[in-house]
Structure 1
Amino acid sequence: MTSLLTNISAMTALTTLKSINTNLDATSNRVSTGQRVSTASDNAAYWSIATTVRTDNASLSAVKDSLGLGSSAVDTAYNGLNSVLADLQNMRAKLQTALQPGVDRAKVQTEIKAIQDKMKATADSSTSSGQNWLSVDSSPSNTAYQATQNVVAGFSRSTSGTVSFSMIGVDVNAVKLYDVNSSSITTAATAGQVFGTTSLTGTTAFRPADATVANRGTADFSGTNEVAFSLSLGDGSTATITLNSSTMASAAANLARVTTTEFLNAINNQISADTTATPLAGKVTASLDASGRLTFTSTAKGSGTDAQVTVQNVAASGSNALIDVGFGTGTAGTDARTGKGSAAGTAVGKGILDTVDSTTGYSVGGVGVSSTAIDISGLVGTSGDTTLRNIITQVEKAIAKVTDAGTKLGASKTQIDGQKTFVDSLMKANDRTIGILVDADIEEESTKLKALQTQQQLAVQALSIANSGSQNVLSLFR
């Protein structure tokens, strides 16, 4: 049936044409933008994930910039340290020259002064992005100073959405050469130590010249042979250590040939097992020093007699009493030997080069005419030579410290560069993730576009044919 009011064929052709046009628009958009998901309506889940990853990449880009600035600051400080290190080596050579008889030390001092000025200028100019890590002002009033400079090295987002940043810290206090501010440095105390007079294996107890080679370097604790001495600490703790066949039984495999290791174990076993009113357990240990001497070390580190340990002979029984283990062979109560550690203290420190050495009264990097600047022009005679040698030693220490500072900066540089490489690779991985989610397959989309354009032309022709049907009906009324 043909109707003048309802053209079903035209309606069907129009619906098909609209559908084709919609698909054609979507495909054209993908071809022109290169994305199959460009808005949330295209695919809400993919669009959301891609947007988050893009945000992460923007943050990583900022981190990469921060690492670049940090790397530049480390490079600047490192180059400054290298230059100063060369100057210190040159200064050491000048000072060593000044030790030679007949050298005009006043002229050498002029060269040293020039080297000091150059080192200070190098440190002052080692600035990157407004940061100077070699010449600082750590005064409390200088709020811009940071003892540790943190470089943003990365960021992470938890499942709850909380963002945290990781840092690479550079210890400025460990690399600074000059500091306007003087700070108090705590000097660690040392424990009390007392040493034997000779190597343990060289004492008569350990038979160094025994006719039997296998006996040499070992002690005979079989029978009635015995060693006895008292240990006293500054806090009043005291105990008598007795080594014989009974007390050595658990430590030695062969009582006739006790090694130095077994001997030490037996002593420390008695110290640990001491249950007297003033026990030594945990307060003193026996060991051998680098020369093989019997050594007793206290754990106390304080002033007065706190860090003190005393070894004293006591009566030993047996026809062949083995008293001599490096602490004398006198009678009981004699040959006492005491070792005392240093107390903790404080010293005034600045940078590596402007801290005044307590021995020489000079600072390696002192500049200008001041009481702290190295001045060898007036050093004469034996005392002058001694002071000059102390100054050379001071410069050697400064070289070691600057070298150590360069090592630390080098390690920080390696860490920063490694993080830069990682961040760069992470950004590329994120780009690939975004591409997988939202990028269009251009080959597929261009093929589809050509097919849709053909379908559009056919749909237009079909709609034209459907609309011409009513015109054919009119011819019936002519």
Structure 2
Amino acid sequence: MTNVSAMTALQSLNATNKQLEETQNRISTGYRVADASDNAAYWSIATTMRSDNKANSVVQDALGLGAGKVDTAYTAMNSAIDVIDDIKSKILLAKTSSGEDRAKIQSEIASLQAQLTDNIGGASYAGANLLQTDSTSTDTTLHIISSYNRDSTGAVVTGSIDIDYANIRLIDSNAADAGILDSAGTTSGKSALNLDVSDLTGVTGTTDDEKFDNLLTDIEKVLGNMTAAASELGAAKSRVDMQKDFVSKLMDSIDRGVGQLVDADMNQESTKLQALQVQQQLGIQSLSIANSTSQSILSLFKG
């Protein structure tokens, strides 16, 4: 009535089948901890770190967008500095020239001034122009999200790389003349965009020589301010590039850490699968033998 051998063999076969199912699941999914039931602690850690990496991915995208804006502004700023250098040379040349020659020189300066306006106006990236901003706007700073930090209590702090528009503004888009190029010089009373070497009317000074010197003084101030602005953009550009590299490495490090917790060792699992398949075959054979022992009793009732 009770076949103890068969019951033992069946229990052993069921245990082998359960282990075989787990191993096959690990091989098919690639995870040894795929659900919380596999290992609650590891699954919880891995889930949290994956969530953090998604946030880091957004940070990486923000850094990429910010890098595009800063790179565009930095390139345009360097180009504008070269043009201002040319204007300075033209002013100095005009000082040593006669009235007719000054008119010709002014036509060259006007062309350079138009080039400045066009280059700066075209220095846009994703709809943003860092060199031509509104001095009256409440939006005074470019914020580039650079980090996502979560402490043990769950409190989140985001870091950012900030650039003050006032420090790099070349032209005021609100026509308030608060940019480096469109604001009137404190010495000559003329801006880099409206000076005219063929007509010194309105230029501060009593003689032409003094007026030209005052124009050159203000141009030197413009160059100094633009150089400082280029330095700020260059520093921000370097920091954004370094942060992009760091976030990329951080994401790789987190992925490796999560993998060490939850990934299956495919070599180990494949070896275990072969062993369990052999055990399964032996279990089936053992159950068959246990059942055949009971069948032999029937032979006693054969006439």
| Partner Cα distance (2:41, 2:200) in 1 | 82
Structure 1 range deviating more: 131-140 or 49-58 = 131-140
Mapped partners of 2:149, 2:97: distance in 1: 66
CA apart distance, 1:475: 1.9
Asked if 1 retains the 8 angstrom alpha-carbon contact of 2:13 and 2:280, the reply is: yes
- Equivalent position of 1:451 in the other structure: 275
Matches within 5 A, 1:112-261: 112-140=109-137, 146-181=139-174
Indicate conservation of the 8 Å contact 2:83/2:116, yes or no.
yes
Query: Is 1:153–1:419's contact at 8 Å kept on the other side of the alignment?
Result: yes
Pairing 1:108–2:101 present: no
The 2-side partners of 1:182 and 1:73 are apart by: 23
The residue that corresponds to 1:425 in the other structure is 249
- Residue identity (%): 46
Q: Which amino acid in 1 is paired with 2:163?
A: V
Deviations 1:170-202 (A, max 9, x none): 11110010013477xxxxxxxxxxxxxxxxxxx
Letter in 1 for 2:142: Q
Alpha-carbon separation, structure 2, partners of 1:447 and 1:384: 94
Match of residue 264 from structure 1: none
Structure 2, unpaired ranges of 5+: none
Q: Give the secondary structure class of the aligned counterpart of 1:378.
A: coil
Instruction: Give the partner amino acid of 2:52.
Output: D
- Tell me the CA shift for residue 417 of structure 1: 1.4
Q: Give the secondary-structure state (helix, strand or coil) at the position aligned to 2:31.
A: coil
The one-letter code sitting in structure 1 at the alignment partner of 2:35 is T
TM-score (norm 2): 0.93
Match of 1:378 among 181, 185, 199: 199
Q: Which residue number in structure 2 is paired with residue 412 of structure 1?
A: 236
Structure 1 gaps, min length 5 = 184-348, 366-372
Q: Partners in 1 of 2:126 and 2:97 — Cα distance?
A: 49
Separation in 1, partners of 2:125, 2:257: 36
Structure 2 distance, partners of 1:31, 1:119, is 63
Instruction: Check whether the contact 1:139–1:180 (CA below 8 A) recurs between aligned residues.
Output: no
1:379, 1:385 within 8 Å by CA — same for their partners in 2? no
- In structure 2, C-alpha distance between the alignment counterparts of 1:165 and 1:382, rounded to whole Å: 57
Find runs of 4+ consecutive structure 1 residues off by over 4 angstroms: none
Q: Is the 8 A contact 2:130 2:165 kept in 1?
A: yes
Cα distance in 1, alignment partners of residues 113 and 124 from structure 2? 19
Instruction: Determine the C-alpha separation between the residues in 1 that align with 2:66 and 2:200.
Output: 45
Q: Is 1:356 the equivalent of 2:184?
A: yes
**Structure in which a larger fraction of residues adopt helix:** 2
Answer with 1 or 2: which has the greater Rg: 1
Match for residue 265 of structure 2? 441
Taking structure 1 as the reference length, the TM-score comes to 0.60
